[in-house]
Structure 1
Amino acid sequence: MQRLVSVVLVLIACSVAEAAFGAGDIRVDLTHVDAGKELPKQELIRRAMQRSKARAAALSVVRNGGGFYGRSAQRRPAGVPVRPSGDLEYVLDLAVGTPPQPISVLLDTGSDLIWTQCDTCTACLRQPDPLFSPGMSSSYEPMRCTGQLCGDILHHGCTRPDACTYRYSYGDGTTTLGYYATERFTFTSSSGGRQTVPLGFGCGTMNVGSLNNASGIVGFGRDPLSLVSQLSIRRFSYCLTPYASSKKSTLVFGSLADDGLFDDATGPVQTTPLLQSRQNPTFYYVAFTGVTVGARRLRIPASAFALSSDGSGGVIIDSGTALTLFPAAVLAEVVRTFRSQLRLPFANGSSPDDGVCFAAPVTAGRLVSQVVVPRMTFHFEGAALDLPRQNYVLEDHRRGHLCILLADSGDDGATIGNFVQQDMRVLYDLERETLSFAPVEC
């Protein structure tokens, strides 16, 4: 009886928190995973490129399998290696439990589960924070198997009626197993304000992969297990600073009723529809329509970017991928047109981790002036994103390379990565089903 009363109280607390959440938006800092390592800009970007290749393989597995994050019985294409889940880009700090225990989690707009490692783990991954201890928290409550969120986990178990167990696998092969529970999560705004809300989360006891110097993952996807869904968040926004910047990126979520969100924009606010896939419901698909290089709109058929009824194709926007990823045929056309206007040869000896690189003239260890590059524009339904040079070009003075920050997606889908989103306010409006963006000095 006491256990039942406790569960009821937790459910009441959840309802109160969700109802009140829109009254105070949360604004938190995001830290890049390589921040503080004192690496030169070229190395920061090169490391992000390597993570993007792993992320591309993971996304391809998800799309080719016709499934989504959380499904473990996926067909892995031949030759695609198992990659760690730590191939993400941004970390946010929060606290879990009563009293609060600090943890750092990777932000992932491409998955749903909220989870961290618990001190009962028998297979534990390296992480910077102490393992979360459920026994030290007075608000930790195992979720009963009758709990709705337990049923929303594709692979869950009920060895006991009062304990929901879960298994959650990512497209890159990373897996976490453990107990699904309810706990209080505390978010501290950059302004100093705090909000504490109850959330369902995974208490990982057997974990395989890598967390890339974080202690868990918080899913910002579109399915019921995500933070966005659990808190009924209708709008969230981020502003990503360049990798080499000393300023931190920011994430804001809640009702975002304030019309001043774009007050600091240095250009027009543009809006395009968000699309959904029944086969891959987690992802944020956008109505992408084409690419312009220089003054030339490329003759790429609309079908190359279309989201098919079987879940294949389509274009997603993703915070966890650095490079923008195009299907091979689209990438080849973009590169061919770019090269014909740039009039530079491909670089000899560049590795796949360098992106698409060209040999530029060098004197005294520097590129001769700043090579004039063709402008690049991404077209969406109702919007056009004219990319700043630094968001799609990398100049490697030491090696005399000029590289464009694009790569092969490995399948017929595409991903808009975070390089092109830097110094831009991006707003996901799930009420209107739109994505808005404008240039900002983040």
Structure 2
Amino acid sequence: MQQRLVVLVLVVASVYASLAASAFVGDVRVELKHVDAGKQLSKPEFIRRAMQRSKARAAALSVVRNGGGARFSGESGQQQPGGIPVRPSGGHEYVLDLAIGTPPQPISALLDTGSDLIWTQCAPCANCLAQPDPLFAPGDSASYEPMRCSGQLCSDILHHSCQQPDTCTYQYAYGDGTMTMGVYATELFTFTSSSGDKLNVPLGFGCGSMNVGSLNNGSGIVGFGRDPLSLVSQLSIRRFSYCLTPYTSGRKSTLLFGSLSDGVYGDATGPVQNTPLLQSPQNPTFYYVHLIGLTVGSRRLRIPESAFALRPDGSGGVIVDSGTAFTLLPRAVFAEVVRAFWMQLRLPFANGSNPDDGVCFLVPAARRRASSQVPVPRMVFHFQGADLDLPWRNYVLDDHRKGRLCFILADSGEDSSTTIGNLVQQDMRVLYDLEAETLSFAPAQC
């Protein structure tokens, strides 16, 4: 038995040795669960909680995109020169179920297109956060292998060390103050497709034994960004796609990744459009797109294209982010959008709104009785080569109980950047094609 175990470890080690060079073969389709699923919340409550998470996410993204190399040091979350490079966090929205180890141990991981590290909390744990699953126990897995300091992925971690003999240790911090520290290791990950098929793949991951902050109903994070540590990069995945259902629909969202050579648009209910993906040398993780303008109603807003430009210093620009709920616009742009809606809706602003409700318009009782739905001006995002004509439910909440129409868009505070959030992407098939360097989308019944 011991001899067979040694052979297994040697085989797994051999697989891991070629990890960075190997390309993923096949397709995986997994279900995504919203972090607030099963909480019996009303739609306004769902949106209010999403607004709170979006604000935290916006602050975290601002640290990364405009911080000029800002660093996180210590448990206080303060930025200090020479600390650990920070990544965005503060409000992930979707969870995927997977398993780690031999035999597999279940993990609920937060999907994040805005960061790269794959990690989970591990036992024994010096400091761990609340999570829905038992801690991953590396001692119970025959395929767990701490990475040596000479490992290629170890050198890709900006803040790594070798405090233990020939063992790669890591520190990784997020903009909201969440931080994970532990051993960087290799392990077998099991993804179960919605069809029941299982796929086992070797991955490098962080086994966190000292963690601070929040995991928002998850047990770890799976980074889908563009840097070497991410799932996308480690498996050389060329395409991934998701279709996000409305929060209160009861339908499961889906994530597909792999070659996707058979296409993904079988559920599309409208034309497929494409726009180029852009990259920033300062922030290589993010998926940038070229937004050139906005239309409200029948009027193209007088917003200069420079308001959305990605600047040479890495500030500005427009990213598509699964981890942010609200679409966040620069303050001046958002003010112009609000003014355009106010002029066309001809409704007063609601007074005394909870800040987490965002900007709301008051619908007088007489007008509510006159028709079941106040006509909402259309909204179009104009990208290079593509126009995203949104259904009104993707940017406005009709709160019948309070007689209000509320934006599910917000300003990005002091940040000059734009984030295309997941509420705008509901009931839409979105495909990231890293081979063609395009983002494509089509309306769909997810």
Name the counterpart of 2:83.
none
**CA positional deviation for 1:15:** 3.7
Q: What pairs with 1:49-198 in structure 2 (closer than 5 Å)?
A: 49-67=51-69, 72=72, 85=89, 87-198=91-202
1:352 to 2:355 alignment: yes
Contact 2:115–2:224 under 8 Å retained in 1: yes
* Amino acid aligned to 1:270: Q
Q: What pairs with 1:33-432 in structure 2 (closer than 5 Å)?
A: 33-67=35-69, 72=72, 85=89, 87-259=91-263, 261-362=264-365, 368-410=371-413, 411-432=415-436
TM-score, normalised to structure 2's length? 0.92
Distance of aligned partners of 1:115 and 1:303 in 2 relative to their CA distance in 1, 3 Å threshold: same
- Number of positions where the alignment pairs a residue of Structure 1 with one of Structure 2: 433
SS in 1 for 2:393: helix
User: In 1, distance between residues paired with 2:132 and 2:424?
Assistant: 29
**CA positional deviation for 1:66:** 2.8
Counterpart among 413, 422, 433 of residue 437 in structure 2:
433
**CA positional deviation for 1:414:** 0.5
1:113-153 deviation line (CA, Å, top 9, x unaligned):
00000011111100010000000000000000111111111
SS in 2 for 1:345: coil
* Amino acid aligned to 1:205: S
**CA positional deviation for 1:373:** 1.2
User: In 2, distance between residues paired with 1:123 and 1:116?
Assistant: 13
Distance of aligned partners of 1:152 and 1:5 in 2 relative to their CA distance in 1, 3 Å threshold: farther
Distance of aligned partners of 1:324 and 1:84 in 2 relative to their CA distance in 1, 3 Å threshold: closer
SS in 2 for 1:263: helix
1:234-293 deviation line (CA, Å, top 9, x unaligned):
10000000000111000000011113x112211100000000001011110011111000
Distance of aligned partners of 1:207 and 1:397 in 2 relative to their CA distance in 1, 3 Å threshold: same
User: In 2, distance between residues paired with 1:227 and 1:83?
Assistant: 16
* Amino acid aligned to 1:241: T
Contact 1:83–1:173 under 8 Å retained in 2: no
Contact 2:368–2:374 under 8 Å retained in 1: no
The unaligned stretches of length 5 or more in structure 2 are 81-85
**CA positional deviation for 1:309:** 0.8
User: In 2, distance between residues paired with 1:423 and 1:367?
Assistant: 29
SS in 1 for 2:267: coil
Structure 1 vs Structure 2 CA RMSD: 2.4
**CA positional deviation for 1:21:** 2.8
Distance of aligned partners of 1:61 and 1:367 in 2 relative to their CA distance in 1, 3 Å threshold: farther
Contact 1:365–1:398 under 8 Å retained in 2: no
User: In 2, distance between residues paired with 1:14 and 1:364?
Assistant: 67
1:27-64 deviation line (CA, Å, top 9, x unaligned):
00000001011111111111111111111111111112
Contact 1:391–1:422 under 8 Å retained in 2: yes
User: In 2, distance between residues paired with 1:153 and 1:320?
Assistant: 22
TM-score, normalised to structure 1's length? 0.93
1:170-228 deviation line (CA, Å, top 9, x unaligned):
11111101110000000000001010011000000110011111100000000000000
Percent of paired sites with the same residue = 74
Contact 1:367–1:397 under 8 Å retained in 2: no
User: In 2, distance between residues paired with 1:62 and 1:20?
Assistant: 30
User: In 2, distance between residues paired with 1:367 and 1:252?
Assistant: 44
Contact 1:186–1:196 under 8 Å retained in 2: yes
**CA positional deviation for 1:363:** 6.1
User: In 2, distance between residues paired with 1:367 and 1:170?
Assistant: 49
* Amino acid aligned to 2:197: G
1:21 to 2:27 alignment: no
**CA positional deviation for 1:9:** 4.5
SS in 2 for 1:21: coil
SS in 2 for 1:164: strand
**CA positional deviation for 1:5:** 11
User: In 2, distance between residues paired with 1:16 and 1:301?
Assistant: 45
User: In 1, distance between residues paired with 2:57 and 2:279?
Assistant: 21
* Amino acid aligned to 2:61: L
SS in 2 for 1:334: helix
**CA positional deviation for 1:18:** 7.3
**CA positional deviation for 1:397:** 1.4
* Amino acid aligned to 2:288: Y
1:322-380 deviation line (CA, Å, top 9, x unaligned):
10000101001111111111111110111221111011123699795211111100010
User: In 2, distance between residues paired with 1:188 and 1:313?
Assistant: 38
User: In 1, distance between residues paired with 2:87 and 2:181?
Assistant: 17
Contact 1:61–1:76 under 8 Å retained in 2: no
| Bigger shift: residues 41-50 or 360-369 | 360-369
